[in-house]
Amino acid sequence: MGSKFFSDLPDKIAELDNNPSVRVIIVASTSKHFSTGLDLMELEDILSGGDTGNENRTLETIEELQKSTSSLGLSKKPVIAAVNGHCIGGALDLISYADIRICSADAVFSLRETRLAMIADLGSLQRLPGIISRGHLSELALTGRDFSAIAAHEMGLVNYVCRDKVELMSKAFSLATEIASNSPTATQGVKEVLRSIYDEQIQRQLELVARLSLPQLGSHDLREAVTAFVEKRPPRFTGH
């Protein structure tokens, strides 16, 4: 998930939203992984910007990334996320905006940011409380550990676990077809009602987490996390 992804996503969602022949949006990957999350190397300047004196610009950048990711949840059309392989960090933020999530048996999820000395700030901490329990969310966010497709199903993150990617996409299109057979005004109305129930405080909470994330982006621990990632070794965090 690099800069091009974040710049393209809102435009693509708007294009689909404005196409009356589109009844349902499926978000999936054409590779063996859904996404390993933010491109840390490409976004290195952003991630280290908190100590450069450009805090305002860094905060604006976080808000731009939030706005891009949020565009999926703001879509008028029902959204199905079909996850195979790794779904890490920012990718988990992204699928938290989907209305329905399904995955293949090889799916691996992680709210990874804590392990990189970051605070997840693109929506997962705001959206997941309406999807999984507080205890599960706290454990996943605080440990940053990987968890399996079965664990994701047991906690309610995904509705179905499919054998492989072929079955995953078949299930995604089957669900989409079932939804698309209904009145589009009715399905979009249902989505609007559900959004009003679950998302009322989301924007205020995103603003809060953006401000809390800013000091982390200039921290020694974040630089150490990126360096350790490049050097393929465990990070040595100091709390600075």
How much is the pTM? 0.85
What value does the mean pLDDT take over residues 217-221? 71
Structure confidence at residue 91 (pLDDT): 94
pLDDT at 5: 92
Residue 47 pLDDT exceeds 60: no
Q: Tokens 């293949």: give the residue.
A: 104
Cβ atoms of 130 and 157 within 8 Å: the answer is: no
Q: What is the pLDDT of residue 218?
A: 65
User: Integer distance in angstroms from the first to the last C-alpha of the chain?
Assistant: 27
Question: What structural domains and CATH numbers belong to the chain?
Answer: 3-230 (3.90.226.10)
β-strands 108-110, 146-148 pairing: antiparallel
Look at residue 50 in the predicted model and tell me its pLDDT. 47
Question: 239: alpha, beta or left, given left = phi > 0 and alpha = psi -120 to 50?
Answer: left
Question: What is the pLDDT confidence band of residue 215, given thresholds at 50, 70 and 90?
Answer: low
Give me the numbers of helices (H) and strands (E) for the chain, helices first please. 11, 7
Strands 79-83, 25-27: pairing is parallel
Average pLDDT over every residue of 175-201:
88
Residue 7 pLDDT exceeds 70: yes
User: Per-residue pLDDT averaged across 182-204, rounded?
Assistant: 83
In sequence order, which residues have a C-beta less than 8 Å from that of residue 80 and are 6 or more positions away?
24, 25, 26, 27, 98, 99, 100, 101, 102, 172, 175, 176
Helix ranges (DSSP H) in 2-117: 3-17, 44-47, 55-74, 90-95
In 3-state terms, what secondary structure has residue 178?
A: helix
**What percentage of the chain carries pLDDT values higher than 70?**
86
Structure tokens at 80: 């199905």
Strand-strand pairing, 146-148 and 79-83: unpaired
Write phi, then psi, for 49 (nearest 5 degrees).
-80, -10
Alpha-carbon distance of 52 to 203, in angstroms, equals: 27
pLDDT greater than 70 at residue 235: yes
The pLDDT of residue 203 is above 90: no
Q: Which residues contact 185 (CB under 8 A, 6 or more apart)?
A: none
Tokens matching residue 63: 């808000």
Secondary structure (3-state) at 156:
coil
Q: Is the model more confident about 204 or about 192?
A: 192
> How many Cβ atoms are within 10 Å of 184's Cβ, its own excluded?
16
> Given pLDDT bands bounded at 50, 70 and 90, which one contains residue 199?
low
Pull the structure tokens for residue 226. Answer: 């990126």
